[in-house]
Homo-oligomer: A and B are copies of this chain.
Amino acid sequence: MQIVTFGEIMMRLTTPRHQRFRQASNLEVEYGGGESNVAVSLANYGQQVRFVSRLPDNDLGECAIRSLRAAGIDTSYIVRGGKRLGIYFLETGAVQRPSKVIYDREDSSMATLSSGDIDWDRTFDKVSWFHWSGITPAVSASAAAVCLEACRAAAERGITISVDLNHRSKLWQYGKTPAEVMPELVELCDVIVGGSYEAERYFGIEVEDKEDFTPLAKALRQRFPKARHIVTTLRDSISASHNTYTALLWDGDTLHSSPTYELTHIVDRVGGGDSFMGGLIHGLIKWPNDLTYALRFAVAASALKHTIPGDVNLVTEGEVVELMEGDGSGRVRR
Protein backbone atom coordinates (compact mmCIF):
# COMPACT_ATOMS: atom_id res chain seq x y z
CA MET A 1 0.00 0.00 0.00
CA GLN A 2 1.05 3.52 -0.75
CA ILE A 3 1.59 6.57 1.43
CA VAL A 4 0.92 10.13 0.21
CA THR A 5 2.48 13.23 1.71
CA PHE A 6 1.35 16.67 0.55
CA GLY A 7 3.04 20.04 0.97
CA GLU A 8 5.65 22.39 -0.38
CA ILE A 9 9.22 21.51 -1.31
CA MET A 10 11.56 24.47 -1.49
CA MET A 11 15.08 25.27 -2.52
CA ARG A 12 17.13 25.50 0.65
CA LEU A 13 20.16 27.76 0.48
CA THR A 14 22.47 27.35 3.46
CA THR A 15 25.53 29.33 4.47
CA PRO A 16 28.47 26.98 4.91
CA ARG A 17 30.56 26.48 8.06
CA HIS A 18 28.40 28.51 10.48
CA GLN A 19 28.87 31.64 8.37
CA ARG A 20 26.43 34.49 8.78
CA PHE A 21 24.59 35.53 5.62
CA ARG A 22 26.93 38.44 4.98
CA GLN A 23 29.99 36.20 4.98
CA ALA A 24 28.81 33.66 2.45
CA SER A 25 30.44 33.66 -0.97
CA ASN A 26 28.56 30.52 -1.80
CA LEU A 27 25.45 28.76 -0.57
CA GLU A 28 24.79 25.05 -0.32
CA VAL A 29 21.78 24.00 -2.38
CA GLU A 30 19.29 21.39 -1.38
CA TYR A 31 15.60 20.78 -1.77
CA GLY A 32 13.42 20.19 1.27
CA GLY A 33 10.17 20.88 3.03
CA GLY A 34 8.28 19.45 5.97
CA GLU A 35 6.16 16.93 4.12
CA SER A 36 8.69 15.98 1.45
CA ASN A 37 11.20 15.35 4.23
CA VAL A 38 8.70 12.92 5.75
CA ALA A 39 8.38 11.27 2.35
CA VAL A 40 12.15 10.79 2.09
CA SER A 41 12.30 9.17 5.53
CA LEU A 42 9.51 6.78 4.59
CA ALA A 43 11.17 5.85 1.28
CA ASN A 44 14.41 5.15 3.15
CA TYR A 45 12.54 2.68 5.37
CA GLY A 46 11.25 0.87 2.28
CA GLN A 47 7.76 2.35 2.11
CA GLN A 48 6.10 3.19 -1.21
CA VAL A 49 5.59 6.96 -1.16
CA ARG A 50 4.01 9.55 -3.40
CA PHE A 51 4.76 13.20 -2.83
CA VAL A 52 2.13 15.63 -4.06
CA SER A 53 2.77 19.31 -4.64
CA ARG A 54 2.84 22.02 -7.31
CA LEU A 55 6.15 23.06 -8.83
CA PRO A 56 7.08 25.54 -11.52
CA ASP A 57 7.75 24.22 -14.98
CA ASN A 58 11.37 25.37 -15.04
CA ASP A 59 14.81 23.95 -14.27
CA LEU A 60 14.50 24.67 -10.56
CA GLY A 61 11.24 22.75 -10.31
CA GLU A 62 13.00 19.96 -12.18
CA CYS A 63 15.85 20.02 -9.65
CA ALA A 64 13.42 19.55 -6.76
CA ILE A 65 11.81 16.61 -8.56
CA ARG A 66 15.18 14.99 -9.26
CA SER A 67 16.07 15.13 -5.56
CA LEU A 68 12.83 13.34 -4.72
CA ARG A 69 13.25 10.74 -7.45
CA ALA A 70 16.78 10.04 -6.24
CA ALA A 71 15.24 9.14 -2.88
CA GLY A 72 12.90 6.69 -4.57
CA ILE A 73 9.73 8.77 -4.22
CA ASP A 74 7.01 8.63 -6.87
CA THR A 75 6.85 12.16 -8.28
CA SER A 76 4.32 11.49 -11.00
CA TYR A 77 1.50 13.08 -8.99
CA ILE A 78 3.21 16.46 -8.79
CA VAL A 79 1.49 19.21 -10.76
CA ARG A 80 3.63 21.64 -12.77
CA GLY A 81 2.68 25.30 -13.03
CA GLY A 82 2.87 28.64 -11.30
CA LYS A 83 5.67 31.13 -11.34
CA ARG A 84 8.35 30.17 -8.91
CA LEU A 85 9.89 27.62 -6.59
CA GLY A 86 9.69 28.64 -2.93
CA ILE A 87 13.08 29.36 -1.38
CA TYR A 88 14.32 29.41 2.15
CA PHE A 89 17.65 30.77 3.26
CA LEU A 90 19.26 29.17 6.28
CA GLU A 91 22.07 30.53 8.40
CA THR A 92 23.33 27.78 10.67
CA GLY A 93 23.78 28.92 14.26
CA ALA A 94 26.01 27.54 16.98
CA VAL A 95 26.21 27.70 20.76
CA GLN A 96 24.13 30.71 21.87
CA ARG A 97 23.52 31.95 18.33
CA PRO A 98 20.30 30.56 16.88
CA SER A 99 19.95 29.37 13.32
CA LYS A 100 18.03 31.86 11.24
CA VAL A 101 15.56 31.18 8.46
CA ILE A 102 14.54 33.74 5.83
CA TYR A 103 11.51 32.52 3.95
CA ASP A 104 11.10 33.62 0.34
CA ARG A 105 8.13 31.47 -0.53
CA GLU A 106 5.36 33.94 -1.26
CA ASP A 107 3.64 33.42 -4.59
CA SER A 108 5.38 30.12 -5.05
CA SER A 109 3.75 27.54 -7.26
CA MET A 110 2.48 25.76 -4.15
CA ALA A 111 1.11 28.95 -2.59
CA THR A 112 -0.84 29.69 -5.76
CA LEU A 113 -2.23 26.16 -6.12
CA SER A 114 -6.00 26.16 -6.67
CA SER A 115 -8.83 23.78 -5.95
CA GLY A 116 -9.05 21.25 -8.70
CA ASP A 117 -5.38 21.39 -9.63
CA ILE A 118 -4.80 18.00 -8.09
CA ASP A 119 -6.77 14.94 -9.11
CA TRP A 120 -7.30 13.37 -5.68
CA ASP A 121 -9.01 10.30 -7.14
CA ARG A 122 -5.90 9.37 -9.03
CA THR A 123 -3.57 10.51 -6.25
CA PHE A 124 -5.29 8.43 -3.58
CA ASP A 125 -5.62 5.29 -5.67
CA LYS A 126 -4.26 2.33 -3.64
CA VAL A 127 -3.28 4.65 -0.80
CA SER A 128 -3.61 3.77 2.88
CA TRP A 129 -1.99 6.75 4.63
CA PHE A 130 -2.08 10.50 4.01
CA HIS A 131 0.17 12.98 5.76
CA TRP A 132 0.07 16.79 5.83
CA SER A 133 1.29 19.47 8.22
CA GLY A 134 0.32 22.84 9.65
CA ILE A 135 2.70 24.55 7.25
CA THR A 136 0.54 24.06 4.17
CA PRO A 137 -2.60 25.89 5.40
CA ALA A 138 -0.27 28.63 6.67
CA VAL A 139 1.07 29.40 3.21
CA SER A 140 -2.02 30.83 1.48
CA ALA A 141 -5.80 30.69 1.51
CA SER A 142 -5.84 28.55 -1.60
CA ALA A 143 -3.27 26.11 -0.19
CA ALA A 144 -5.47 25.81 2.90
CA ALA A 145 -8.49 25.16 0.72
CA VAL A 146 -6.72 22.43 -1.26
CA CYS A 147 -5.51 20.93 1.99
CA LEU A 148 -9.10 20.65 3.21
CA GLU A 149 -10.06 19.15 -0.15
CA ALA A 150 -7.31 16.56 0.32
CA CYS A 151 -8.27 15.67 3.88
CA ARG A 152 -11.90 15.22 2.93
CA ALA A 153 -11.00 13.06 -0.06
CA ALA A 154 -8.73 10.94 2.12
CA ALA A 155 -11.27 10.63 4.91
CA GLU A 156 -14.00 9.56 2.49
CA ARG A 157 -11.76 6.74 1.26
CA GLY A 158 -10.98 5.60 4.82
CA ILE A 159 -7.33 6.53 4.46
CA THR A 160 -5.47 7.09 7.74
CA ILE A 161 -4.62 10.79 8.10
CA SER A 162 -1.74 12.16 10.13
CA VAL A 163 -0.90 15.77 10.82
CA ASP A 164 2.13 17.52 12.26
CA LEU A 165 0.65 20.73 13.70
CA ASN A 166 3.94 22.58 13.19
CA HIS A 167 3.42 26.29 13.83
CA ARG A 168 5.57 28.72 11.81
CA SER A 169 5.15 32.23 13.12
CA LYS A 170 6.63 33.85 10.00
CA LEU A 171 3.81 32.35 7.87
CA TRP A 172 0.02 32.90 8.30
CA GLN A 173 0.33 36.22 6.45
CA TYR A 174 -2.74 35.92 4.26
CA GLY A 175 -5.37 37.25 6.62
CA LYS A 176 -6.58 34.20 8.51
CA THR A 177 -5.41 32.84 11.83
CA PRO A 178 -4.68 29.18 12.54
CA ALA A 179 -7.70 29.18 14.85
CA GLU A 180 -9.96 29.92 11.89
CA VAL A 181 -8.43 27.32 9.63
CA MET A 182 -6.96 24.42 11.50
CA PRO A 183 -9.85 22.90 13.50
CA GLU A 184 -11.84 21.87 10.44
CA LEU A 185 -8.77 20.16 9.03
CA VAL A 186 -7.63 18.44 12.19
CA GLU A 187 -11.09 16.98 12.80
CA LEU A 188 -10.40 14.58 9.97
CA CYS A 189 -7.11 13.28 11.37
CA ASP A 190 -6.28 9.97 13.00
CA VAL A 191 -2.84 10.88 14.28
CA ILE A 192 -2.02 14.31 15.71
CA VAL A 193 1.52 15.42 16.50
CA GLY A 194 1.81 18.70 18.36
CA GLY A 195 2.31 20.42 21.68
CA SER A 196 0.73 22.86 24.06
CA TYR A 197 1.93 25.78 21.95
CA GLU A 198 -0.10 24.73 18.92
CA ALA A 199 -3.03 23.48 21.05
CA GLU A 200 -3.39 26.96 22.48
CA ARG A 201 -2.90 28.95 19.25
CA TYR A 202 -4.86 26.65 16.97
CA PHE A 203 -7.64 25.36 19.22
CA GLY A 204 -7.63 27.57 22.29
CA ILE A 205 -6.87 24.53 24.43
CA GLU A 206 -4.91 25.49 27.51
CA VAL A 207 -3.74 23.16 30.21
CA GLU A 208 -2.48 24.16 33.58
CA ASP A 209 0.44 21.84 33.96
CA LYS A 210 2.56 22.02 30.82
CA GLU A 211 4.87 19.33 32.18
CA ASP A 212 2.11 16.73 32.09
CA PHE A 213 1.04 15.65 28.60
CA THR A 214 -1.96 13.50 29.52
CA PRO A 215 -4.42 16.33 30.22
CA LEU A 216 -3.51 18.01 26.95
CA ALA A 217 -3.84 14.77 25.04
CA LYS A 218 -7.24 14.15 26.61
CA ALA A 219 -8.42 17.65 25.76
CA LEU A 220 -7.32 17.17 22.15
CA ARG A 221 -9.07 13.83 21.94
CA GLN A 222 -12.25 15.38 23.32
CA ARG A 223 -12.12 18.08 20.70
CA PHE A 224 -11.03 15.73 17.89
CA PRO A 225 -12.63 12.37 18.68
CA LYS A 226 -11.31 10.75 15.46
CA ALA A 227 -7.71 11.10 16.62
CA ARG A 228 -6.57 7.77 17.96
CA HIS A 229 -2.96 8.76 18.67
CA ILE A 230 -1.96 12.09 20.22
CA VAL A 231 1.78 12.59 20.12
CA THR A 232 4.22 15.26 21.23
CA THR A 233 7.96 15.73 21.08
CA LEU A 234 9.90 17.42 23.86
CA ARG A 235 13.04 19.28 22.92
CA ASP A 236 15.14 20.98 25.56
CA SER A 237 17.40 23.56 23.92
CA ILE A 238 20.48 24.01 26.05
CA SER A 239 22.07 25.83 23.16
CA ALA A 240 21.89 25.85 19.37
CA SER A 241 24.50 23.07 19.49
CA HIS A 242 23.13 21.00 22.35
CA ASN A 243 19.55 19.76 22.72
CA THR A 244 17.86 16.86 24.37
CA TYR A 245 15.04 15.09 22.59
CA THR A 246 12.28 12.73 23.62
CA ALA A 247 8.58 12.10 22.82
CA LEU A 248 5.26 10.92 24.26
CA LEU A 249 2.30 9.15 22.64
CA TRP A 250 -1.14 8.86 24.24
CA ASP A 251 -3.34 6.20 22.69
CA GLY A 252 -6.50 7.02 24.60
CA ASP A 253 -5.50 4.71 27.38
CA THR A 254 -1.83 4.65 27.96
CA LEU A 255 0.93 7.22 27.78
CA HIS A 256 3.90 5.72 25.93
CA SER A 257 7.29 7.34 26.35
CA SER A 258 10.70 7.05 24.75
CA PRO A 259 14.22 7.46 26.10
CA THR A 260 15.77 10.94 25.97
CA TYR A 261 18.67 11.49 23.62
CA GLU A 262 21.48 13.88 24.42
CA LEU A 263 22.20 15.64 21.12
CA THR A 264 25.59 17.28 21.34
CA HIS A 265 26.87 18.65 19.05
CA ILE A 266 24.12 18.94 16.56
CA VAL A 267 25.22 18.91 12.91
CA ASP A 268 21.91 20.15 11.47
CA ARG A 269 18.77 20.64 13.50
CA VAL A 270 16.44 21.47 10.62
CA GLY A 271 14.21 18.57 9.68
CA GLY A 272 14.43 17.07 13.16
CA GLY A 273 10.65 17.11 13.55
CA ASP A 274 10.07 15.77 10.06
CA SER A 275 12.39 12.86 10.70
CA PHE A 276 10.41 12.10 13.88
CA MET A 277 7.17 12.19 11.86
CA GLY A 278 8.63 9.90 9.18
CA GLY A 279 9.79 7.47 11.86
CA LEU A 280 6.42 7.60 13.60
CA ILE A 281 4.37 6.82 10.48
CA HIS A 282 6.71 3.95 9.63
CA GLY A 283 6.56 2.73 13.22
CA LEU A 284 2.77 2.86 13.40
CA ILE A 285 2.49 0.96 10.11
CA LYS A 286 5.13 -1.66 10.92
CA TRP A 287 4.57 -2.19 14.64
CA PRO A 288 0.88 -1.24 15.14
CA ASN A 289 0.64 -3.38 18.23
CA ASP A 290 3.73 -2.04 19.91
CA LEU A 291 3.17 1.69 20.16
CA THR A 292 6.08 2.17 22.53
CA TYR A 293 8.39 0.57 20.01
CA ALA A 294 6.96 2.74 17.21
CA LEU A 295 7.51 5.86 19.30
CA ARG A 296 11.04 4.83 20.27
CA PHE A 297 11.79 4.23 16.58
CA ALA A 298 10.62 7.74 15.74
CA VAL A 299 12.74 9.34 18.44
CA ALA A 300 15.87 7.36 17.55
CA ALA A 301 15.37 8.27 13.89
CA SER A 302 15.16 11.92 14.81
CA ALA A 303 18.27 11.69 16.97
CA LEU A 304 20.19 10.41 13.95
CA LYS A 305 18.83 13.21 11.77
CA HIS A 306 20.54 15.77 13.98
CA THR A 307 23.89 14.29 12.92
CA ILE A 308 23.29 14.67 9.17
CA PRO A 309 23.61 17.91 7.19
CA GLY A 310 20.53 18.94 5.21
CA ASP A 311 16.77 18.76 5.56
CA VAL A 312 16.31 15.04 5.15
CA ASN A 313 17.08 12.00 7.24
CA LEU A 314 19.29 9.60 5.32
CA VAL A 315 19.15 6.52 7.53
CA THR A 316 17.90 3.00 7.02
CA GLU A 317 15.54 1.12 9.30
CA GLY A 318 18.50 -1.02 10.36
CA GLU A 319 20.53 1.97 11.44
CA VAL A 320 17.66 3.32 13.53
CA VAL A 321 17.07 -0.05 15.17
CA GLU A 322 20.77 -0.32 16.01
CA LEU A 323 20.55 2.95 17.92
CA MET A 324 17.23 2.01 19.56
CA GLU A 325 18.73 -1.24 20.75
CA GLY A 326 21.16 0.64 22.77
CA ASP A 327 24.30 1.37 20.85
CA GLY A 328 24.78 5.10 20.90
CA SER A 329 28.52 4.79 21.35
CA GLY A 330 29.27 5.87 17.83
CA ARG A 331 32.14 3.38 17.47
CA VAL A 332 33.51 3.21 13.94
CA ARG A 333 31.94 0.43 11.85
CA ARG A 334 34.85 -1.23 10.08
Query: Which interface residue of A70, A97, A303, A329 has the most chain B CB atoms within 10 A?
Result: A97
Bound form: Cα–Cα A331–B242 in Å:
10
Range of interface residues on A (Cβ < 8 Å)? 35 or more
Question: Which residues of chain B come closer than 8 Å to A72, judged between CB atoms?
Answer: 66, 69
Question: Which residues of chain B come closer than 8 Å to A308, judged between CB atoms?
Answer: 18-20, 23, 97
Main secondary structure of the interface of A (DSSP, over half): loop
Question: Which residues of chain B come closer than 8 Å to A331, judged between CB atoms?
Answer: 98, 237, 240
Candidates B16, B85, B89, B319; contact of A60 at CB < 8 Å:
B89
CB of A193 closer than 8 Å to a CB of B: no
The answer to whether B239 and A330 touch across the interface, beta carbons within 8 angstroms, is yes
Smallest Cβ distance from A156 to chain B, in angstroms? 32
CB of A176 closer than 8 Å to a CB of B: no
Question: Which residues of chain B come closer than 8 Å to A106, judged between CB atoms?
Answer: 83-84, 107
The answer to whether A95 and B266 touch across the interface, beta carbons within 8 angstroms, is yes
Near B by CB (< 8 A), chain A positions 66-91 give: 66-67, 69-72, 83-85, 87, 89, 91
Question: Which residues of chain B come closer than 8 Å to A13, judged between CB atoms?
Answer: 13, 27
Mark A residues whose CB is within 8 Å of B. 13, 16-29, 58-60, 62-63, 66-67, 69-72, 83-85, 87, 89, 91, 93-104, 106-107, 168-170, 237-242, 261-267, 269-270, 303-304, 306-310, 314-315, 319, 323, 328-334
